[in-house]
Amino acid sequence: MKTVEEIKAAIEAAVPGAGVTVVLNPSPSAQHSLRLEPAHALAVAAFLRDDPELAFDYLSNVTGVDWLDKEIAEKVKVTRQVTKTVDGPEGTKLEQVVDEIVEETRKHVEPGSLEAVYHLYSVALRHGPLVLRMRTVNRTDKVELPSLTPVWRAAELQEREVFDLYGIVFTGHPDLRRILMWDEFKDYPMRKDYVEPDDYEYEPTAHDAVLKRAQEHRSREQGSRD
Q: How far apart are CA 143 and CA 117, in angstroms?
A: 14
3 state DSSP class of 52: coil
Sequential pLDDT tens for the chain (226 residues): 999 999 999 999 999 999 999 999 999 888 999 999 999 999 999 999 999 999 999 999 999 999 999 888 888 888 888 888 877 777 787 787 888 888 888 888 888 999 999 999 999 999 999 999 999 999 999 999 999 999 999 999 999 999 999 999 999 999 999 999 988 888 999 999 998 776 555 555 667 777 777 777 777 777 777 6
Provide the angle, in degrees to the nearest 10, between the axes of the packed helices 41-50 and 4-14: 110
What is the CATH superfamily name and number for domain 4-67+113-171? NADH:ubiquinone oxidoreductase Nqo5 subunit (3.30.460.80)
Residue 203 CB contacts under 8 Å (≥ 6 apart), including other chains: 210, 214
Per-residue H/E/C for 128-197: EEEEEEEECCCCCCCCEEECCCCCCCCHHHHHHHHHHHHCCEEECCCCCCCCCCCCCCCCCCCCCCCCCC
pLDDT score, position 91: 75
Regarding pTM above 0.85, the answer is no
3 state DSSP class of 73: strand
